[in-house]
Amino acid sequence: MKVLLDSSFILSCVMKRIDFLSQLEEQGFRVEVPREVLQELKDLKHKDKTSRDERTAIDTALQMIEGRKIKKTTLGEGSVDEWLIRRGNEGFFIATLDNEIKRSVPNKIVIFDSKKSVGAE
């Protein structure tokens, strides 16, 4: 099973200190990160309204993804959200906090705050 990660999911997991990559792999998922999502994270890091903690979390996330040799994919032209919805409807699991995406795809990965874990919903 493949899972595509969204920037909101990655950032939230890192800030909550959840080892989402290991947990997803242990659950049998092949984790992929769209290059467009990585670019979203890099762009967010340079925005004025981004807090110091968020910048640190972004750096940590990028290091984790590079260090684990996570597969990077290219979605194509158009918005990242539209592509994630399209892929989600093709059978991919989508890891996101975005409510519109979560409503639009059947297979999603969620964060269980009380357990500091992630899993399919």
All domains of the chain in start order, with CATH? 2-120 (3.40.50.1010)
End-to-end CA separation in angstroms for the chain: 14
Residue 41 to residues 20, 27, 29, 45, 112, Cα–Cα distance (Å): 17, 25, 22, 6, 22
In 3D, which of 78, 73, 81 has the Cα closest to residue 6? 81
Question: 7-63 pLDDT, tens per residue?
Answer: 999 999 999 999 999 999 999 999 999 999 999 999 999 999 999 999 999 999 999
Q: Can you give the pLDDT at residue 20?
A: 95
Distance CA 73, CA 75 (A): 6
Question: 42-51 pLDDT, tens per residue?
Answer: 999 999 999 9
In 3D, which of 102, 121, 97, 82 has the Cα closest to residue 16? 97
